[in-house]
Homo-oligomer: A and B are copies of this chain.
Amino acid sequence: MKRYVCAAAVIAAGLGLGLGASAQNGPSPAKYAVEIRQSIYTLIGANFGPIGAILKGDKAYDAAEVQKRLSRIAFLAPMLDEAFPEISNVGEPETKAKPEIWANRADFDKKLKAMQAAVKDLVEVNNRDKADNEAFKTAAMALGQACKNCHDTYRAK
């Protein structure tokens, strides 16, 4: 077994970036943590985009599209729990995440949890009705508001 492990290690090293070595060969741990966080937010924002467009009346409600977008947001939102390690408190311009996040961690976590709860609510409402009705709009607006509540306090302009 030991020989097998060694062989795997050699091949793994050879595969390089294919094995997620970007943390080693690429940015510093702090910068990498920021990149991971920004990636989660980019994907949440990109998948909320079509829902925002429905709210604004720019796009028609499409059940399959909304379902797909919401399932992604629901998967991504809990990943934010790990996305604010102390090491990632590096200030602008590397991050728009304000130092107040780490200074007021309990309040920040409360706002993050409120956003995650709003995601769950929206998913439930949409699963139940699958329609562009008042309940959907209210729940989607509540999610947008939960995002904004945190951004207003903890994200640099």
Contacts and interface: CB of A to CB of B under 8 A. Distances in A.
6 contacts: A1-B134, A5-B57, A9-B57, A11-B141, A19-B56, A23-B45
Interface of A: 1, 4-6, 8-9, 11-13, 15-23, 32, 35-36, 38-40, 42-49, 51-52, 55-57, 72, 75, 79, 134, 137, 141, 144-148, 151
Contacts of A36: 42-43, 46
Nearest to A49: B20
A22 B45 contact: yes
A28 to B, nearest CB: 14
Contacts of A145: 15, 18
A4 to B, nearest CB: 6
A68 B9 CA distance: 22
A6 B72 CA distance: 27
Contacts of A32: 46
A10 to B, nearest CB: 9
